[in-house]
Amino acid sequence: MQSRADARIRWMSDVAPLTEPLAWHLATARMKALPRPAGRPSREAGDANTREARLILAALRQMIPEIVSEQQQVFALMDPIVSAGKLTRKWLLDQLSKYVPDNQLVYPDRLREWHRDNLLLYTEQGQLEPQSTAAILVMRRLDHRQKGWLPRQLPTPRSFFCWRRDASNLEAVPYELPLVSIEGHPSVVKPSPATGPAPYVLWTTWKGAAWRDDAWLVYDTGAIRWVGNPSEEELAQWLSPQAMATLAVPASRKDLAKQALAILATDSLVHRSTYNGSVTTD
């Protein structure tokens, strides 16, 4: 039987670039508007903490279509800015000011506080890190409260979840990308998946995963990548003989892997659910 913790993690792969603390905070606020069962709770319903966690999870599941919509809109908004190297503090402040009452300003001190609280990260060049910036924008666009729309200080920075499949015959599992310190800049972290004994595949509906990481291939409904450098023999374990025959050869190992990714992105490895827009697996 799936535990509450398992169920909570399951939905984290659908809400990137939101991290788990951000998604849970957002759902907690939305949970207050959900109807609660009348009468005295049954013993089977669990204690107060259990019931509240169940309501928060229900709120998060209801919000998936909204979050997916914001994924797409925030990516479209930020992609040209990130690509042009113009993701500045002023740009973020201007965007956030659109969601405060009476055209009030968002002061730079807020950005410093969010950085101190591990909510907003920076690159080794001292510029805004795009994943955490996008997550803050999604939070602001979905929660228009004047105060309390972001959680308090996090103990450490957190990354977003994606889907991971270690072999074509294995189920996909939610995978929180590790944050790894950049050499020469120990206080700067970057999402970087751990290598394994064999190449594996990651994918997400969040196209922004490809920012500052060209290992990701962006396609029409998301982004996908290999972790590791698969050989032609290993690719044959992921693709059908018919799909293998379509690969353009001769080609380098890297080029073959990219061709395979394009095939995996369009076959039944990943598809959208028809009821809530979330990613599910076969």
Tokens of 99: 């969601």
Q: Is residue 118 part of a domain?
A: no
Q: Is residue 132 part of a domain?
A: no
Q: Is residue 276 part of a domain?
A: yes
Distance of alpha carbon 226 from the chain centroid: 17
Q: How many domains does the chain have?
A: 1
Q: Is residue 46 part of a domain?
A: no
For residue 98, what are the contacts with CB-CB under 8 A and spacing of at least 6?
none
Q: Is residue 40 part of a domain?
A: no
CA distances from 53 to 20, 87, 99 (A): 14, 36, 29
Q: Is residue 28 part of a domain?
A: no
pLDDT digits (tens, 9 = 90+) for 168-225: 999 999 999 999 998 888 889 999 999 989 999 999 999 999 999 999 999 998 999 9
Containing structural domain, residue 188: 165-280
pLDDT digits (tens, 9 = 90+) for 90-142: 999 999 988 876 666 677 899 999 999 999 999 999 999 999 999 999 999 99
Question: Could you give the dihedral angle defined by the CA atoms of residues 168, 171, 176 and 180, in that order, rounded to the nearest 10 degrees?
Answer: -30
Tokens of 130: 């795009």
| Strand, coil or helix: 67 | helix
Place of tokens 């399951």: 10
Q: Is residue 110 part of a domain?
A: no
